[in-house]
Structure 1
Amino acid sequence: METVNPLKPAEPRDRKLSLHVVTWNVASAAPPLDLDHLLQLDKQDPNLDMYVIGLQEMNRGIMSLLSDTAFEDPWSSFFMNVLSPLSFVKGNKGGVNICLKFYGYYVSIINCHLPPHLANNDQRLEHFDWILEMQNFEGPDIPNILDHDLIIWFGDMNFRIEDFGLHFVREAVKSQCYSDLWEKDQLSIAKRYDTLLREFQEGPLLFPPTYKFDKNSNNYDTSEKKRKPAWTDRILWRLKRQPHTDSCTPRRPAPHLSLSLRSYMSHMMYTISDHKPVTGTFDLELKPLVSVPLISLMPEGLWTMENALLINYSFTPDFPSSPWDWIGLYKVGFRHINDYVSYVWVRDNQVSFNDGLNQVYINISDIPETEDQFLLCYYSNSLRSVVGISNPFKIQPQAFLEEDPLGEVQPQI
């Protein structure tokens, strides 16, 4: 028989998250009609919690820039058309480096495109170090990137295969003797002597080199340049190491965070680019360092189209609240943080607050009647991120009130 002390906080349970990482140099091409295989949506149960998608050489022409400003780029639009109905949401982060916090752990995601050509290997390595050294994040107490608990680094890294001639490389690829090429892969060579790069791990290269192909085919480069095939498109990761206890003990990963590679593969069926996309699927297991979310919020009482909606929310003592924080009302399946149906500034429409419990109201008189489910999201201006999401709920389209035998007014739906 197990007994539980209700006054003692429960120990946080281990969490397991599944991440699917995609890197693809799309060579200015438009999205194809079907990307289900790339996103593992052709599997009966993909069992994925997060997509991390990084593209290189997206079309940046005038029309594309106008589209990005007025709407969003066609690739982002395509991915979200597919993923938003499955409850995946594209956050408001931009650039090549994204910092996330999972249950108290810092996770950094880097998408890069390093210098090309066989002879520029030293320049690639310089860029690798420079990217790490130059990363700074705005926000309170965010550590240096090398102190993040996990770094996932991927992209068109442009590392090539040295020494071997074109004929040898192509024959090795044709016969699937990939191990003959590994020892001359520039990234593998650099990891032997570069101390920082050595800390990054990678899955085995058991798929054909992903560059360079004739577009709209699976043939390696037949142009006059006839570039050697190479594994230019890579996915690496690095777990933060514990400090040395003594000079004889090697550093080990943090005991409460682990990352295991489920699959690492290329996708030969996509031919729109001279690169093939590469995906890595990971299982991230961790013991939460925090068990209470920064923000907890929920609708209060029965929500109907006829009323202003009352929202209860609370936050932890260390939460950096701001007058510019706001709560948005969203339909389940929304694509972006700006896709709110309505919103409210938490300070302007505050009803009451005491002992960390706050109440605000939001006007929904202009919301059309719908059977859709909704969510509440709390956006922190200080953290530049959504820090709280409610459970799904429905807004009743109409409420009729009648008096029960005890004289109390009850809603009748």
Structure 2
Amino acid sequence: MMETVSPLKPAEPRDKKLSIYVVTWNVASAAPPLDLDHLLQLDKQDPNLDMYVIGLQEMSCGIMSLLSDTAFEDPWSSFFMDVLSPLSFVKGNKGGVNICLKLYGYYVSIINCHLPPHLANNDQRLEHFDWILEMQNFEGPDIPNILDHDLIVWFGDMNFRIEDFGLHFVREAVKSQCYSELWEKDQLSIAKRCDTLLREFQEGPLLFPPTYKFDKNSNNYDTSEKKRKPAWTDRILWRLKRQPHTDSCTPRRPAPHLSLSLRSYTSHMMYTISDHKPVTGTFDLELKPLVSVPLISLMPEGLWTMENAMLINYSLTPDFPSSPWDWIGLYKVGLRHINDYVSYVWVRDNQVSFNDGLNQVYINISDIPETEDQFLLCYYSNSLRSVVGISNPFKIQPQAFLEEDPLGEVQPQI
């Protein structure tokens, strides 16, 4: 079968389908377990995932952080509060963090939150929910308000509890997997019925046991003196941007070129290091790309060998917000972080030519050890604070050296 395209009309970009895997887990300052393959779906032969979104709460960054948080206030907080407490400011230990990204021209917000605890603080949780949405602002050109983003994925330890029912009733309902009565008294479900903004967020069915509170290193619900009621504190929500009302009688509908469907929503009972169980959601995101050309296209020039410097070609779109602080990094395939470069170059300082959007820079690779690894190039935009271009993987050949052959001629060796 052959596909033809009219020269008078450019081909429309094909629809994209991406699989997104979301993980939320309050790890209660515990160290990572030895095996996370099941949680990350790596024990499946073909997990068919395009993107991982992982959000943790109560994460400790090391033994000193753990000791500081449990025995003392950390020194930075102590310093700031010495200054701010006399001015009537109060430090809270809950909140949310947000990542904004642009995906094929669509704005996507990812929010990881930890809302106030305890059954009686439901109003405070709802206030924090609204506050996080209203107060999130992004630096950068033309980034819309978070509520104008095409997709919001919101997850975390939201701390919503089950009202009215006593401990014995809730535990018996969980034991017999009779969840429907508990859903009716779930504080988040109740709030969604009456809160206009919260109602716009969707959630999958809670077909798994409540994920809090467990005795650590077991699957037993809280046996301490407090004996907290089980609750679905750990949740994953999403919201698609709605089209404006055409009239007062017509409900708003999602944008026609972007849809999100939930493939699975579950907890993982096998992990016992925390008093919470991790929760995951697998989504299929379908969209019609609004942009089909990357902001930056990177191309290593010719055969790369380990000499002093090598040439990089790159092109950029006319509306790209370039900056003198943009740089290109050389990485081994499998990099873990943007700072894992083996070499880098400032694009303005090392530019050798430019013509009709095609630019050339040199990058120093003389200090790279001889290796069979594959490499790639990444362009980092200071204005957008993000990687905006990645090359295809390539190899760098070992440096040539000379060797005399039996006939007395000098031959280059690779």
* TM-score in terms of structure 2 length: 0.89
Q: Distance in 2 between matches of 1:288 and 1:322?
A: 26
Q: Does the aligned pair in 2 maintain the 1:369–1:397 contact within 8 Å?
A: yes
Shift in alpha-carbon separation, 1:176–1:76, aligned structure 2, 3 A: farther
Shift in alpha-carbon separation, 1:346–1:308, aligned structure 2, 3 A: same
* SS in structure 2 at match of 1:225: coil
Shift of 1:209: 0.2
Shift of 1:46: 0.5
Indicate the residue corresponding to 1:195 in structure 2. 196
Matched, 1:152 2:153: yes
Q: Distance in 2 between matches of 1:84 and 1:297?
A: 51
Shift in alpha-carbon separation, 1:402–1:102, aligned structure 2, 3 A: farther
Q: Distance in 2 between matches of 1:207 and 1:102?
A: 31
Shift in alpha-carbon separation, 1:154–1:95, aligned structure 2, 3 A: closer
CA-to-partner distance for each residue in 1:232-262, whole Å, 9 max, x for gaps? 0000000000001111111000010011111
Matched, 1:392 2:409: no
Q: Distance in 2 between matches of 1:355 and 1:90?
A: 53
Q: Distance in 1 between matches of 2:290 and 2:101?
A: 14
Shift in alpha-carbon separation, 1:177–1:91, aligned structure 2, 3 A: closer
Segments of 5+ residues of structure 1 without an aligned counterpart are none
Shift of 1:10: 2.5
Shift in alpha-carbon separation, 1:99–1:71, aligned structure 2, 3 A: farther
Shift of 1:79: 32
CA-to-partner distance for each residue in 1:349-401, whole Å, 9 max, x for gaps? 11100111000010111111111000000000111000000000000113479
Give the share of equivalent positions with the same residue, in percent. 96
Indicate the residue corresponding to 2:182 in structure 1. 181
* SS in structure 1 at match of 2:192: helix
The alignment yields a C-alpha RMSD, in angstroms, of 8.2
Q: Distance in 2 between matches of 1:412 and 1:76?
A: 60
Shift of 1:81: 39
Q: Distance in 1 between matches of 2:81 and 2:264?
A: 23
Q: Distance in 2 between matches of 1:95 and 1:180?
A: 30
Shift in alpha-carbon separation, 1:374–1:170, aligned structure 2, 3 A: same
Shift of 1:58: 1.3
Q: Distance in 1 between matches of 2:409 and 2:81?
A: 47
Which structure has more relative contact order (CA 8 Å, sep 6+)? It is: 1
Indicate the residue corresponding to 1:125 in structure 2. 126
Indicate the residue corresponding to 1:57 in structure 2. 58
Q: Does the aligned pair in 2 maintain the 1:178–1:206 contact within 8 Å?
A: yes
Shift in alpha-carbon separation, 1:185–1:74, aligned structure 2, 3 A: farther
CA-to-partner distance for each residue in 1:287-318, whole Å, 9 max, x for gaps? 10001111011101111012521000011111
Q: Distance in 1 between matches of 2:87 and 2:285?
A: 21
Shift of 1:75: 22
Q: Does the aligned pair in 2 maintain the 1:152–1:237 contact within 8 Å?
A: yes
Segments of 5+ residues of structure 2 without an aligned counterpart are none
Q: Does the aligned pair in 2 maintain the 1:330–1:339 contact within 8 Å?
A: yes
Equivalent residue pairs, number = 413
* SS in structure 1 at match of 2:244: coil
Q: Distance in 1 between matches of 2:303 and 2:67?
A: 43
* TM-score in terms of structure 1 length: 0.89
Q: Does the aligned pair in 2 maintain the 1:91–1:336 contact within 8 Å?
A: no
Shift in alpha-carbon separation, 1:324–1:367, aligned structure 2, 3 A: same
Q: Does the aligned pair in 2 maintain the 1:87–1:334 contact within 8 Å?
A: no
Shift of 1:83: 41
Q: Does the aligned pair in 2 maintain the 1:264–1:278 contact within 8 Å?
A: yes
Shift of 1:50: 1.1
CA-to-partner distance for each residue in 1:9-61, whole Å, 9 max, x for gaps? 33111111111111001111111100111000010101111111111111267
CA-to-partner distance for each residue in 1:295-351, whole Å, 9 max, x for gaps? 011101111012521000011111000111000000000100000000000011111
Shift in alpha-carbon separation, 1:232–1:355, aligned structure 2, 3 A: same
Q: Does the aligned pair in 1 maintain the 2:94–2:115 contact within 8 Å?
A: no
